[in-house]
Structure 1
Amino acid sequence: MARPAFAKIDLAALRHNYERLRTLHGGRALAVLKANAYGHGAVRCAHALTDIADGFAVAFLEEAVALREAGINAPILVLEGMFDAHDLQVAQELELWIVVHHEAQLRMIELSACTTPLHVWLKLNTGMERAGFAPEDAAAVHSRLVSTGKIEQIILMSHFARADEPDSEATAAQIERFDNATAGIAGDRSLCNSAGVLAWPDARLDWARPGIALYGADPIPSGEHGLLPVMTLESRVFAVRDLQAGEALGYGARFIASRPTRVGLVAMGYADGYPRTAPEGTAVMVDGQVSGIIGRVSMDMLTVDITDHPSTGIGSRLELWGPRIRVNDVAHASGTIAYELLCNVKRVPLQYSQEPLVHTPKLESAAA
């Protein structure tokens, strides 16, 4: 019998989320599949979206190559752009779209022997202070690209630093800087990441680039935007033991029983992607009932309190996150973000479903 730990991937929910986000944004939307589609499997997710998506985005060249080799012929944007002339050559051969965000990349194009016109996304730094040309250089850089005679289309873009903070003035300032910098320059625009789509109507321009929201993890605090969780992380109880009051459990003896306690041993640990930092009481669903983690999460196993669930035992099903346990809540309790939890899922097999899974009402919190 195989180890009973896996992640269910609901491709119908993925399609629902893409269509929801694209409709809310208007215009067109690239589905962001970087980091193996945030742990969901880039190739399978791309195939699930290929008939409805305007295109895809990945972080770097190798991720784009894998999609092309899997038969994905839709536009693919490489967000980090190219690292050297070889990357540029491959991008040209595979008809990839490329982001240009600093001088060395611009020079690569100017010095290249490109024979097929390139599709470039010109990135401006409007406040993220990480990548992108200075706003005041936008017109000059745009002119240099056009003058190469190697460009088919230029889309102007930037990236938000604090779009997931609806009360912050930073995003409005970035939108204003972008608008001022690109005034009078022809071409489509792109500003919205997931949070931009959900919370900033003024940023909904020609192209959106939704990432985390595609997978049903709302980046806006207390967000209720009709998104469905795509991943359900599951396992089962595979052993049961009893603790007496005063007995300690697990590494570091972090949990000491205050009463006679039934403990369920679960096939899931931090090597599978469940956070080691999850605190005592982080919620799980056991056979549809709320329970909580006790003891420290170890590499291959974790332990849950099943004292108040007498019918729970070997073989009982656990949802670690999914429709009932929000991954955002598990992340918050663990001192991290849903992006990290989803991207860290590994070792457990991914089980794909084209049919919509049952989405029951979620819990208000994942921490007891």
Structure 2
Amino acid sequence: MAAATPSKNDDVPARAGAILDVDLSAVAANWRLLRDRVRPAACAAVVKADAYGLGAQRVAPALRDAGCRLFFVAHPDEGLALAGAVPAAEIAVLNGAVPGSEGDFSAAGIVPVLNSLDDLARWTRHAATLGRVLPAFIHLDTGMNRLGLAPAEQGTLAAEPERLRGVDLRGWITHLACAEIASHPLNADQAGRFRAALARLPGAPASLANSAGIFLGPDYHFDFVRPGCALYGINPTPGTPNPMLPTIKLRARILQVRPVDSPMTVGYGATHTVVRAGKVATIATGYADGYSRSLSGAGHVLVAGRPAPVIGRVSMDLITVDVTDVPEDAIRQGDFAELIGPHRTVDQVAAEAGTIGYEVMTSLGRRYWRRYLPDGLPA
């Protein structure tokens, strides 16, 4: 069963096995930093995947209060769930409206991103049925080859703009494939293809840049940008200092500390063999909470401010860490180990897991006791 979500003033109960603190002020500050960086372009916010695991119902209103008026999600149900939580704002669905779902969009006032001429035709037919113009964004593929109108479809639409009749065109969007690699030639190629397509199509606001794309410079900003990962503290400029504030702190309780010595083994499969006398702490988190099994023998946590390596396999509910080098008087049952936080970033955890910060964030489990903090993360 999911742990309750307390209000900002509630204390953490003694029974809570782990705490996920979410700093809403840092999320808002990250949005404002990006907004100021891209002016005069506008700044939207991507809150798909439950705001990258942090809770869209809490994050989106905080961003709206900061001034955001356009939100992107991936699935229609995400948009439907968010409708009403951000009044006077627009919610757009990147995956678009699959056949038969058009009525759900128009009834709720959420906006599809149309990804093909077939999508466009169905949307205009639905608008005609209702006898009114309906809003939509249109996605142009410029090199990702996932979603969006292919170049041939773009040419057709440019030659037959009457296909847009019945559409309140909210904007043209495309998506960068390699923005995290600033020197990658596809970045400039995609920007060029986008400009060429826009020159042939009816005028409307245009959007190219994701989080990393914002840092490629003004040539990539167009009329509005769509940051996601940077809002939540993931570094949008890998290989350089992170310009964003951390937004979460994840701590899990130490359930037991036990002495070990060679030739003992630790955990499932006996994958770790003890080579010296020491101490092992068992901590209340596991892969069911999003702490990846790939961190087995590779991850680290902080115990009393000291790094402690994960030893043995990450199991469903527990991890074991070597605390031999943590002073005896600095560790007790019930204390917390820091898994992610200002001193143990999500990008560091991702690197140890062999993945990216996006996956770490969106995997955050529902069993954590969540606190939404208005004034920063705890020390």
Q: TM-score, normalised by structure 1?
A: 0.92
Aligned in 2, Cα 1:199/1:284: closer, same or farther, shift over 3 Å? farther
Indicate the SS of the match to 2:145: coil
Change (3 A) 1:305 1:171: same
**Equivalence map 1:60-209=2 (5 Å):** 60-70=75-85, 72-85=87-100, 87-112=101-126, 113-138=129-154, 140-141=156-157, 146-185=162-201, 186-209=203-226
The alignment covers a number of residue pairs equal to: 358
**SS, match of residue 50 in structure 1:** helix
* Number of the residue aligned with 1:38: 52
- Whether 2:333 is the aligned partner of 1:314: answer yes
Q: Can you list the C-alpha shifts for 1:191-239, whole angstroms capped at 9, x where unaligned?
A: 0111111234321111111111110001321232421121211112111
Give 1:92 shift.
Answer: 1.8
Q: How does 1:200-279 map to 2 (within 5 A)?
A: 200-279=217-296
Distance of 1:226 and 1:94 partners within structure 2? 36
Amino acid at match of 2:196: N
Task: Label 1:114 to 1:146 Cα distance change in 2 as closer, same or farther (>3 A).
Answer: farther
The Cα of 1:146 is off from its aligned counterpart by: 4.9
* CA distance in 2 between partners of 1:258 and 1:118 (Å): 68
1:330 aligns with 2:343: no
Q: CA deviation at 1:287?
A: 2.1
In structure 2, distance between residues paired with 1:156 and 1:102? 13
Alignment-mate amino acid for residue 347 of structure 2:
N
**Is residue 17 of structure 1 aligned with residue 30 of structure 2?**
yes
3-state DSSP of counterpart to 1:53: coil
Instruction: Give the SS at the match of 1:24.
Output: helix
Query: What is residue 3 of structure 2 aligned with on the other side?
Result: none
| Contact 1:89 1:114 survives alignment (8 Å) | no
1:354 maps onto 2:340 in alignment:
no
Alpha-carbon distance in structure 2 between the residues aligned to 1:11 and 1:115: 41
Assess if the C-alpha contact under 8 Å between 1:279 and 1:333 holds in 2. no
* Alpha carbons of structure 1 residues 258 and 72: separation in structure 2 relative to 1, 3 Å: farther
C-alpha deviation, 1:89, in angstroms = 1.9
For the residues of structure 2 that align with 1:358 and 1:204, how far apart are their CA atoms?
A: 35
For 1:130, the aligned partner's letter is R
- Go from structure 1 to structure 2 and tell me whether the alpha carbon gap of 1:70 and 1:110 turns closer, same or farther (over 3 Å shift): closer
Change (3 A) 1:145 1:230: farther
Report if the CA contact (8 A) 2:124-2:167 is conserved. no
CA RMSD of aligned residues (A): 1.9
Determine whether 1:50 maps to 2:64: yes
Answer yes or no: is the 8 Å Cα contact 1:233–1:319 preserved in 2.
yes
Name the stretch that deviates more: 153-162 or 40-49.
Answer: 153-162
Is the CA contact 1:136–1:181 (under 8 Å) kept in the aligned structure 2?
A: no
1:2 matched to 2:22: no
Q: Contact (CA 8 Å) 1:122, 1:142: kept in 2 or not? A: no
Distance in 2 (CA, whole Å) between partners of 1:282 and 1:148 is: 52
Tell whether the 8 Å contact from 1:255 to 1:295 is kept in structure 2 after alignment.
yes
Provide the C-alpha distance between the structure 1 equivalents of 2:295 and 2:107, rounded to a whole number of angstroms: 46
Provide the C-alpha distance between the structure 1 equivalents of 2:88 and 2:368, rounded to a whole number of angstroms: 29
Contact 2:23 2:372 in 1 (8 A): yes
Range 171-180 or range 306-315, more displaced: 306-315
Structure 2 counterpart of 1:102, one-letter code:
S
State the 1:161 CA deviation: 0.9
Alpha-carbon deviations, 1:256-285, whole Å to 9, x = none?
Answer: 111111011100100000111014252211
Cα distance in 2, alignment partners of residues 127 and 148 from structure 1: 23
8 Å contact kept, 1:40–1:350: no
Q: Once the two structures are superposed, what CA deviation does each residue of 1:147-194 show, in whole Å capped at 9, x if it has no partner?
A: 553222341111111111112111111111111111153111100111
Q: Deviations over 1:65-118 (max 9, x none)?
A: 111144544111111110123x22222222222211112211202322133422
Report the alpha carbon displacement of residue 30 of structure 1 after superposing the two structures with TM.
Answer: 1.6
Larger mean CA deviation between 133-142 and 71-80 belongs to 133-142
Report if the CA contact (8 A) 2:158-2:200 is conserved: no
Give the counterpart of 1:339 among 358, 363, 367.
358
Match of 1:365 in 2: none
Measure the CA separation in 2 of the matches of 1:225 and 1:321: 15
Partner of 1:9: helix, strand, or coil? strand
Paired residues of 2:142 and 2:194 also in contact (CA < 8 A): yes
Secondary structure of 2:295 counterpart: coil
Q: Is the 8 A contact 2:60 2:85 kept in 1?
A: no
What is the percentage of aligned positions where both structures have the same residue? 34
TM superposition shift of 1:48: 1.1
Equivalent residue letter for 1:8: D
The runs of 4+ residues in structure 1 deviating greater than 3 Å are 69-73, 142-149
1:363 corresponds to which residue?
A: none
Relative to structure 1, is the Cα distance of residues 339 and 323 closer, same or farther in structure 2, using a 3 angstrom cutoff? same
Work out whether residues 138 and 182 of structure 1, in 8 Å CA contact, stay in contact via their aligned partners in 2.
no
